[in-house]
Structure 1
């Protein structure tokens, strides 16, 4: 994938005054906050519609069938109507078992949701990113793989789905294959440029190739993979900070995945 590739165009909003209705869309709650006395404002990530802002009227009421359901890490099927930027939730039901995340796995899950909230525009469908969300939440709940590798795969799937990931197979200078024993300077808008010596923003070809493969059993390579993805993500955050990074730092070493998440 070419690092100079442009972002996909955002989906068009409905014309002012027009009402759209969507039924039974699979998705996840990315973020929620109280609104008025009994309602919620929800950021919902739907597979075919992208990130949608929804008002869940009465969702905090003791009598609401949605009470306790509009939560992160629960596979959901949602229906809504919409006029303008925000929609109104009209139906919500579970579409699978809640992914029970605790300890460091919980912070990792919140980090995934914060990336979706910060980096994805509303109304921009990303089915491959949606599938990556399912995979990372399932992996975090299962606890069978290092959390660091689960996060690296998701981060790369996110940037790839946005169309802003550099090419991890070929360098950006002559189009030669990335060599595991080579050194490469990362230019986020261009790609990996071969260099002769190390320095800021320089990564080993072995780490680049491990990221493309989504796995390593080498601690130093895992650390380098984390720093490489952080460089890319920070570039696209454009100065915005992630609160969950502080949470992950505080939970360091308390769960599977060690200190390389």
Structure 2
């Protein structure tokens, strides 16, 4: 009887190329350390944003452009109150300028102010004089109206009396001579009434003429006052932020000083 022999498979046989012992602990630690280092670096690259910084010389220009500040007058720089890169608020002092033109304008302003005061006094005196004359004319008108009313009543009474006496004279109860005298007196009263009427009309006309003349003169005087006020307003606008011969240049709004064309005191600008 023959016996069969069994040979194990090649997969079950240990290879001589593979290491038989596990790797040392140091090698395993370095492997895990590299793995975690890679994970941390990957996470930092994904979630952490590092700023990019570049150092270089440059000049900032506003997106909407710069607004140059110029001197409105021929002047000399008396003081520079700002520096490049400085932030200023609206109304802040930038420069103080010295100008002879400003001194001349200031003198003109004082002269016009005195002229305006004189013209206003003249206008006030004109109003006072007109008020006094108007009161006199009003009194004359009132007197003439009273005189006219009296004459009208007198004329009406004379007419009524004459009508009665004429009827009485026709019946022989009143003398014709006396009637004629009364008729003459009545005619004189009517004449006085007409004179009173003309006097009243004349006084009213004079009052109206006085009023018209005052209105014309007052309009002319008020026009002169208004012209002086307009000139003063224009001068005050030109002399805004000025005192004697010094002009202060101020920032029109909040801003940043980009550059200074004039830095030295004594420089002439225009």
In which range does the TM-score fall when normalised by the shorter chain?
A: under 0.3
The TM-score with structure 2 as length reference comes to 0.16
Q: Between Structure 1 and Structure 2, which shows a larger proportion of helix residues?
A: 2
TM-score between the two structures when normalised by the length of structure 1: 0.17
